[in-house]
Chains A and B, each alone.
Chain A
Amino acid sequence: DVKVTQSSRYLVKRTGEKVFLECVQDMDHENMFWYRQDPGLGLRLIYFSYDVKMKEKGDIPEGYSVSREKKERFSLILESASTNQTSMYLCASSLGRASRYNEQFFGPGTRLTVL
């Protein structure tokens, strides 16, 4: 079974802090994604990556950056956390882009609170 792990289930940070959220997948998937999920807004894509060192902006990239130095690891960085970044953050991976291969496997999520 594919396993996607995230570094923390719960995180509390202060406004202005730099925050790192780590995601690791163990099935050699090409693609990795970062989403945030907020009540009434559904899942929104922040950034995604098709390959090592490659990244593409999603729908809401402002205030975030990402890093993919190794195929299995995709990091989300909040350069200067703000209260409106309080949310549930979900990492996902998929085998490929085409057709059924784009089934996404999700990590358990990180609930981030910014005070």
Chain B
Amino acid sequence: GQNIDQPTEMTATEGAIVQINCTYQTSGFNGLFWYQQHAGEAPTFLSYNVLDGLEEKGRFSSFLSRSKGYSYLLLKELQMKDSASYLCVLSGDTNAGKSTFGDGTTLTVKP
């Protein structure tokens, strides 16, 4: 997406922790989503942040700082099945109900 920056690729080791960063260049939006997309499959919801701070959900956490234009997704205790693309998505930035997707970060988890 033109307003969203994520690293293209990351590699991590099984059992480790990885942080996927997302920066954006827009001042107004409703909330920020993270989706997971395995190769050849559709994206599925991982997390949602509307307020600044950390949202924790099992092995996955997501953080948002509106003032810094920054979010990250934290994956703990990595498993091989976490190898996927992770999409940072702004909701309602240009139009309520419309979402802008980042190009995604392809994470490869190695044994």
A-side residues, CB < 8 A to B, are 31, 33, 35, 40-45, 48, 50, 56, 58, 90, 94, 96-100, 102-109
Contacts and interface: CB of A to CB of B under 8 A. Distances in A.
Interface of B: 1, 30-31, 33, 35, 41-45, 48, 50, 87, 91-92, 95-99, 101-104
A41 B8 CA distance: 11
Contacts of A103: 33, 45, 48
A42 B50 contact: no
A6 to B, nearest CB: 9
Contacts of A43: 43, 87, 101
A94 to B, nearest CB: 7
A98 to B, nearest CB: 7
26 contacts: A31-B97, A40-B103, A41-B103, A42-B1, A42-B87, A43-B101, A48-B98, A58-B98, A97-B96, A97-B97, A98-B30, A98-B92, A98-B96, A99-B31, A99-B50, A102-B30, A102-B31, A102-B91, A102-B92, A103-B45, A104-B35, A104-B43, A106-B44, A108-B41, A108-B42, A109-B42
Contacts of A40: 103
Given A98-B30, A103-B48, A50 B1 contact: no
A41, A42, A90, A100: which has the most chain B beta carbons within 10 Å? A42
Given A102-B33, A103-B45, 20 more contacts: A35-B101, A42-B1, A43-B87, A44-B101, A45-B99, A58-B98, A90-B42, A96-B97, A97-B92, A98-B96, A100-B31, A100-B50, A102-B30, A102-B97, A102-B99, A103-B33, A105-B45, A106-B42, A106-B43, A109-B41
